[in-house]
A and B are shown apart, each in its own frame.
Chain A
């Protein structure tokens, strides 16, 4: 079966993380994604930016020249979708807002994934993931105590990229059925709030303020529930296991798996209610046991016994050790045209009939100039040379 987005062309103005992730998910499902970029010599074969840009094509167009804008518009006329993550004024400045784009291509889908959305008093705000974590309350309430903490990385960018890809595919479905394109104004701020729905509803329905989330069970009552330090491994003391005991059966099985230590029969730990009330003591006792175990051995032993447990995986665990990710071929190899290769992430789902899209390397900026100008736009050799001479297109 052909990839879902075979034959779909996306003009991609996005940059940094959230936008490129959105278009990468579309590229992974078979869309032809053409990045329009500024001139840059920053290499992009390895690491995060390789992961975000693989399977795409790149052309460096000088959008400060009217001729550059005109070129981008010619490309739009031959495309299905335009995606940007600028605030509203940038695309308008180029005459590439939705109203203008649909003059070029009546059924175009234009998706703008700005930080705060295209309307409202803060629509021109400069935001990155951490800006949005702060404004949503994630930074303050995802914490051990009253000290704001939050994510160590831009979770918001990942979430917004995934949400934008889903929105793009919904719009493509609508267009496939009806022939109608449209404009999507996605606010990364609002996409993130979508994941804090429980905090919001508990406030708007019950008037309950959100306490610092710490290790309070958020899903269902559980005790023990948390991370417990394990034995050092290769001199690394930063080894932990997460354990989440949600029923009496799981508690009994945990106790047995630990070899039924004396402390576990303490009446303070008999019921879920009493374990939750005595969680400090419980966590200390359990931590004394895990401190003697290697994280992976403890996980295997507990899982064999029927207790939810998982190693707190670090980058090396994920990329080299995790047998599940290996068995499912979650990591893949990407080869470079100049020789060499890197490992990279794939999509977290498999179709039973559509094979996974082949992986192509992340392009250097401008790598597909000839493909875009020649094959896609059909420009002659002399027209192409003219564009380069005028620095409308960079080599």
Chain B
């Protein structure tokens, strides 16, 4: 099915929950056979809303849908001895296992790295844990919210006099998962030479700190503790300001800013910005508060669209502040056919999903299948791949193992 895909022939057992969902999803999108192994009652993600049609149901969770497109689903209770043995059998023919349990959980089930490695020395295990597998915070409890806090992703967002602002989207899980893809691909490439797999100990906490841009560097270089500045970017180069049409505009003072000053000056509204010292970009950044105050006065007399069009022609990195609700109609995304239609035959409907973040010329991102129903591929995988007889499957089912 994935012939010619970049990751064709790779088999991934995805034991992860929401924390690592995007990791397996990115591999599945590029053609890996990613089998989501769920407990018989389903990945906890299936119980999280919002739900399609606002009807709670394990096969209607939009969170499950988004993070599990292109995967298959097998139900298997590996907390049960027989289930654990079946998982080890599946691991024998797998290339990668992804898991995101609290550290130590798989060990207690007899599914430690050592046990997996002994069964299949070529196997790669990628463990995504909130704080990694070692250290004093190893067993701390954390969801995405706690990780944004301890990872430094909260402190610098929002207005100075207000509480730190939480990001939109489960971003600590996203950056952890994307680093997970790099780590897994690295282990796969290393395996070509060494022949054996290895265990990847990935910390979502560290992945969050690794996604902060300026915070560590400003501290190490200047001893500076960066704080919240509203919409003024830490660099002093960008700020969001309202326009005459009631919409907001993202403004930048990088590039040929003098072009814009000429325009403002022609309307008598450049104030002191035509002074030559403003031609120096570092001066503009240092004095950003004044610069954006003058710009803000001028914007009160212009609509967002007229400024945007001219600014981008002048090679200035402006943008109108849109809503996420505008995305499906975004002209750029439409031209690139970014959104893909995914058919859900079980509901008799099709829905638009965000598609490929990158276009590979030889091995494109592809839609292989809609997110799996709970246990949709249990029979296919356990009977065809592991050679279980139908009768055995029924016994396992009756015992609650699958």
Q: Assess whether A261 is interfacial by the CB under 8 Å rule.
A: no
Q: Is A348 a contact partner of B202 (Cβ separation < 8 A)?
A: yes
Q: Is B164 a contact partner of A2 (Cβ separation < 8 A)?
A: no
Contact with B along A340-352 (1 / 0, CB 8 A): 0011110111111
From A64-72, A199-207, A267-275, A382-390, the one touching the partner chain is A199-207
Per the 8 Å Cβ criterion, residues 99-155 of A in contact with B are 116-117, 119-123, 125-144, 148-155
Q: Is A313 a contact partner of B252 (Cβ separation < 8 A)?
A: no
Q: Is B227 a contact partner of A166 (Cβ separation < 8 A)?
A: no
Q: Which residue of B lies closest to A156 (CB)?
A: B213
Contact with A along B147-182 (1 / 0, CB 8 A): 111111011111100111111111100111011111
Contact with B along A159-175 (1 / 0, CB 8 A): 10011111101111110
Contacts of A312 in B (CB 8 A): 149, 154-155, 164
Contact of A140 (CB < 8 Å), options: B214, B218, B321, B332:
B321
Specify which of A127, A151, A206, A312 lies most central, judged by the most chain B CB atoms within 10 Å of its CB: A151
In angstroms, Cα B181 to Cα A309, docked, is 28
Q: A162-B179, A201-B66, A351-B200 are in contact. Are A51 and B217 (CB under 8 A)?
A: yes
Q: Assess whether B134 is interfacial by the CB under 8 Å rule.
A: yes
Contact of B225 (CB < 8 Å), options: A197, A219, A316:
A316
Contacts of A165 in B (CB 8 A): 182
Interface of B is mostly: mixed
In angstroms, Cα B355 to Cα A40, docked, is 39
Contacts of B228 in A (CB 8 A): 152
Q: Assess whether B137 is interfacial by the CB under 8 Å rule.
A: yes
In angstroms, Cα B90 to Cα A389, docked, is 64
Q: A5-B189, A119-B336, A144-B158 are in contact. Are A134 and B200 (CB under 8 A)?
A: no
Q: Is A174 a contact partner of B6 (Cβ separation < 8 A)?
A: yes
Q: A139-B240, A352-B199 are in contact. Are A198 and B66 (CB under 8 A)?
A: yes
Contacts of B222 in A (CB 8 A): 47
Show the binding face of B for A, using Cβ within 8 Å: 6-7, 18, 22, 26, 30, 48, 50, 52-54, 62-63, 65-67, 113, 131-132, 134-138, 140-152, 154-159, 162-171, 174-176, 178-183, 185-190, 192-194, 196, 198-207, 209-222, 224-231, 233-234, 237-238, 240, 248, 250, 252, 254-255, 312, 315-328, 330-333, 335-336, 338-339, 351-363
8 closest Cβ pairs, A-B complex: A137-B324, A47-B221, A348-B206, A4-B186, A48-B217, A169-B185, A242-B149, A120-B335
Show the binding face of A for B, using Cβ within 8 Å: 1-5, 17, 25, 29, 46-51, 98, 116-117, 119-123, 125-144, 148-155, 157-159, 162-167, 169-174, 176, 180-187, 189-191, 193-206, 208-210, 213-215, 217-220, 222, 225-227, 229, 238, 240-242, 244, 246, 250, 303, 306-319, 322-325, 327-328, 330, 342-345, 347-354
